[in-house]
A and B are shown apart, each in its own frame.
Chain A
Amino acid sequence: MAAKEKKAQEKVKVTFEVPLDCMSCVEKVNKQMAFEKGVKDLKCDLANKTVTVTYRKDQTDIEKLREGFAKIGYKNLKIHETTM
């Protein structure tokens, strides 16, 4: 049971390539993605134009996160890196 619970809470880190142009885009992403289900941490990198999302595997997945980005106009985002 305990092992199952632990597995359920497993976190995954995924880095999307997001065409961030300015601080207000970062603000927009922070506001939108923070409230997507399962999102545990967020790091926007304006210099490298990436957003790293840490999420709970049992609550969301990359497709759902992509849908979240799409709501604020960032569609079909490429994945830069995934860390389990």
Chain B
Amino acid sequence: MNKYIVTAIFAIAWNIVHSQVTGVVKDQNKLPLVGATVYWEGTSQGCVTDSKGEFSIESTGSGNVLIISFIGFETQKVSPPKNHKVQVILQPDSEVLADINVVSRDKGAHESRISIIQTTKLTGAELCKAACCNLAESFTTNASVDMSYSDAATGAKQIRLLGLSGTYVQMMAENMPAFRGLASVYGLEYIPGAWMESIQVSKGSSSVINGYEAIAGQINVEYKKPENSEKFFVNGFYNSELRHELNINSSLRLNEKLSTMILAHFKDGDKAVDNNDDGFLDMPMIKQYNFINRWNYANGKYQSKYGVKVIDESRRSGQIAFYNDDASAYGINVETRRYEIFSKQALVFNNHTGHSIALQASGSNHEQNSFYGNRIYEATQKNAYLNLIYQNIINDNPSHEYSIGTSFMFDEYDERLNSENFIRTEKVPGIFGQYTYNGNDRFTFLVGLRGDFHNEYGFFLTPRLHSKYNVNDHIHLRASVGMGYRSANVLAENSYLFASSRQVEITEKPEQEKALNSGLNATFFLPVFDKDLTISTDYYYTKFYQQVMADVDSDPRKVSFYNLDGISYSHSFQAQANYEIVRGLSLTAAYRITDVKMTIGDELREKPLTNRFKGLITASYQTPLKKWQIDFTSQFNGGGRMPTPKRDLWEEEYSSYTIFNAQITKYFRKWNVYIGSENLGNFKMDTPIIDAVNPGGDNFDASMTWGPVHGRMIYGGFRFAIDRE
């Protein structure tokens, strides 16, 4: 007790003798920045902001300029008037293109406190907790995103968000739409883990600036950047199925303005594995070459980025006999080659207000030649994208921020399924405007509207609204509502269904898909024994006004594509808690319930092959010096409905199952090595392929897949990095 009194008296006395400068540091949305550094210019005298973004620093005779800095934000200098509280608003780093640099790696995944849209960011640290060989495999420790198995033959990996298929999630690479159309089936495997600096997952309709396609949410990947990545990085990976991977990254700063980077990936799994003895490969044999060269240029107010990307992939699967020169056996072969170019240019007039103009441009050519037994599918897609964004504030008041712009999206599809040709061209010019209000510390909202003119579907409007209210430091509430649209690419997105004897039937011209998404999110930051217990709950409702159905229920011999005639919706409720129990040991527990129903035929039915619930527990332990890291994940996947069984060949329901993953990483100064296991419990489907012995027959179907096809997998790898000075 005495100690406290003495301290208090001392503190008061100190304040009398030394005058203090106090203030608060906030971001562009006027939300407090915790942990920002504040110091007097030319001295080492400084402090960091507290949990309210506030600081108090002793006045100094020598310097009168305060320097305020925070990762991801522009450093600011202010001359504070004496005896006044200063308010400093930091603007995001010169990257007007909304890149977020995640430097802190102590926490792998975090819910953004400041974003108006509910966003979880997975950093490099999180991606090192599992093998994460590519984007598709990066969500094993994430509760919101599910990885589903679309079929037992091609190995295509689909993600799901809010119980909706990955095609309703807008995929972005560095804030530009990516992997649309033909690339949507295997695209998640086109981004190697070693290339990613971070992944942002946001739920619900997102900003209109990036287009109208986000319905369930948005996933943005930031590649490693030449200016802040390792000089040299190499990663090797090997697993018990004899798949090996090699990643080599190298970045070079040519001078103050110009930097370049090479990201190269090679993957080869050339062994035919059939552990379940059904005569089919459990996993496809994939050979992939993947390469990016990117350039960044920054000269004062002008910044630009350029990149080229090349992917060449061969994916072989089917019956083992096919690879033993039995020409009558069932084989699958998917050959893909994709070229991409991307560029961003920005002119920043004022770093503090964000006044800027930016142009994003990208183009790609995607070619897929494939066969699934006797079925031949060949397709090409040419894409071009332009987006011009102007950003400023109204009346010099940073509380009112707006963006306006115009975009153009071009897609040309040329598909052939056996002898039938499908050719489609889409041209969509659009304009958009978005306004952000951040009038006070507590309430912010973002309202956006875009109008697009589609050459096939005509003019349509996309309104979206997001808001955030901080009740206090411990309770943050968010609400969002917005429309989303997309063109269904019936064949490409469902090409995994070709690995079956089902007839493909397109009964009518697909309409443009249209849905309304609304959501609520409450996040609690509760101090428990000096540490924050974070609890996040959310509920999202998606209602489709138009949807292209892939009906595998009405007739088990067919897959029919037609426009929704009835209702289709998804309810998703999720709760998640994170806490660091003791130093170094953090736990995450999450639970989600999804209810996805649609009118199939004339009946409102549950969406087949969709888990009704998901539970996730992750434990992550790091020794005090971060020399060892141990991660453990268990996933509980709820059962669901199977498509209407054909002649009792499969059950009507599938039951729930649990998957365990574990990894141990040992860090050295420049190296780290890891060893781990996926599906430690060796859980696998008994009969992943229906009537596998007779792939030429009527009953053959490899698309009735709800769980893992292959069992326990052990892997190991190393990472070696030479850091930048």
Residues A1-40 near B (CB distance < 8 A): 19, 21-24, 27, 30-32, 34-35, 39-40
With A22-B69, A35-B668, A46-B48 in contact, do A27 and B105 touch (Cβ < 8 Å)?
A: yes
Residues B43-72 near A (CB distance < 8 A): 44, 46-48, 69-71
Expressed in whole angstroms, the Cα–Cα distance for A21 and B723 within the complex equals 19
In the complex, what residues of A have CB within 8 A of residue B35's CB? 23, 46
Q: Are A49 and B44 closer than 8 Å at their CB atoms?
A: yes
Q: How far is the CB of A21 from chain B (nearest CB, A)?
A: 6
Q: Are A31 and B669 closer than 8 Å at their CB atoms?
A: yes
Q: Are B71 and A24 closer than 8 Å at their CB atoms?
A: yes
Residues B684-706 near A (CB distance < 8 A): none
Q: Are B103 and A34 closer than 8 Å at their CB atoms?
A: no
Q: Which residue of chain B is the closest to A31 with respect to CB atoms?
A: B669
Expressed in whole angstroms, the Cα–Cα distance for A81 and B150 within the complex equals 61
Q: Is A41 an interface residue (CB 8 A)?
A: yes
Expressed in whole angstroms, the Cα–Cα distance for A3 and B723 within the complex equals 43
Expressed in whole angstroms, the Cα–Cα distance for A22 and B330 within the complex equals 59
Q: Are A34 and B625 closer than 8 Å at their CB atoms?
A: yes
Q: Is A47 an interface residue (CB 8 A)?
A: yes
In the complex, what residues of B have CB within 8 A of residue A24's CB? 71, 103
Expressed in whole angstroms, the Cα–Cα distance for A53 and B668 within the complex equals 18
Q: Is B624 an interface residue (CB 8 A)?
A: yes
Taking a contact as CB atoms closer than 8 A, the residue among B37, B44, B625 that contacts A42 in the complex is B625
Q: Which residue of chain A is the closest to B625 with respect to CB atoms?
A: A34
Q: Are A34 and B37 closer than 8 Å at their CB atoms?
A: no
In the complex, what residues of B have CB within 8 A of residue A23's CB? 35, 71, 103-104
Q: Are B48 and A47 closer than 8 Å at their CB atoms?
A: yes
Q: Are A19 and B626 closer than 8 Å at their CB atoms?
A: no
In the complex, what residues of A have CB within 8 A of residue B44's CB? 19, 49
Q: How far is the CB of A41 from chain B (nearest CB, A)?
A: 5
Taking a contact as CB atoms closer than 8 A, the residue among B37, B626, B627, B668 that contacts A21 in the complex is B37
Chain B interface bracket (under 10, 10 to 19, 20 to 34, 35 or more):
20 to 34
Q: Which residue of chain A is the closest to B669 with respect to CB atoms?
A: A35
Q: Are B47 and A47 closer than 8 Å at their CB atoms?
A: yes
Q: Are A46 and B627 closer than 8 Å at their CB atoms?
A: no
Q: Are B668 and A22 closer than 8 Å at their CB atoms?
A: no
Q: Which residue of chain A is the closest to B48 with respect to CB atoms?
A: A47
Q: Is B39 an interface residue (CB 8 A)?
A: yes
Expressed in whole angstroms, the Cα–Cα distance for A27 and B44 within the complex equals 19
Q: Are A22 and B627 closer than 8 Å at their CB atoms?
A: no
Q: How far is the CB of B674 from chain A (nearest CB, A)?
A: 17
Residues B233-252 near A (CB distance < 8 A): none
With A27-B103, A27-B105, A35-B669 in contact, do A22 and B625 touch (Cβ < 8 Å)?
A: no
In the complex, what residues of A have CB within 8 A of residue B669's CB? 31-32, 35
Expressed in whole angstroms, the Cα–Cα distance for A35 and B723 within the complex equals 15
Q: Which residue of chain A is the closest to B103 with respect to CB atoms?
A: A24
Taking a contact as CB atoms closer than 8 A, the residue among B46, B70, B105, B668 that contacts A49 in the complex is B46
Interface string of B20-54 (1 = CB under 8 A from A): 00000000000000010101000010111000000
Q: How far is the CB of B560 from chain A (nearest CB, A)?
A: 55
Q: Are A34 and B69 closer than 8 Å at their CB atoms?
A: no
Q: How far is the CB of A23 from chain B (nearest CB, A)?
A: 5
Expressed in whole angstroms, the Cα–Cα distance for A41 and B627 within the complex equals 11
In the complex, what residues of B have CB within 8 A of residue A39's CB? 625
Expressed in whole angstroms, the Cα–Cα distance for A42 and B624 within the complex equals 7
Expressed in whole angstroms, the Cα–Cα distance for A55 and B543 within the complex equals 60
Q: Which residue of chain B is the closest to A48 with respect to CB atoms?
A: B47
Taking a contact as CB atoms closer than 8 A, the residue among B46, B104, B627 that contacts A27 in the complex is B104
Q: How far is the CB of B73 from chain A (nearest CB, A)?
A: 11
Q: How far is the CB of B505 from chain A (nearest CB, A)?
A: 57
Expressed in whole angstroms, the Cα–Cα distance for A41 and B625 within the complex equals 6
In the complex, what residues of A have CB within 8 A of residue B723's CB? 31
In the complex, what residues of B have CB within 8 A of residue A41's CB? 624-625
Which of B624, B627, B667, B668 has the largest number of chain A CB atoms within 10 A?
B624
Q: Are A21 and B624 closer than 8 Å at their CB atoms?
A: no
Q: Which residue of chain A is the closest to B668 with respect to CB atoms?
A: A35
Expressed in whole angstroms, the Cα–Cα distance for A21 and B69 within the complex equals 8
Taking a contact as CB atoms closer than 8 A, the residue among B39, B69, B71, B626 that contacts A30 in the complex is B626
Expressed in whole angstroms, the Cα–Cα distance for A48 and B475 within the complex equals 29
Give A contacts to B, CB under 8 Å: 19, 21-24, 27, 30-32, 34-35, 39-42, 46-47, 49
Extra contacts besides A22-B37, A40-B625, A41-B625 (4): CB < 8 Å: A22-B70, A32-B669, A34-B627, A40-B624
> 18 A–B contact pairs at CB < 8 A?
A22-B37, A22-B70, A22-B71, A23-B35, A23-B71, A24-B71, A24-B103, A27-B103, A27-B104, A30-B625, A31-B723, A34-B625, A39-B625, A40-B624, A42-B624, A46-B35, A46-B37, A49-B46
The 3 closest A-B CB pairs, nearest first, are A34-B625, A35-B669, A47-B48
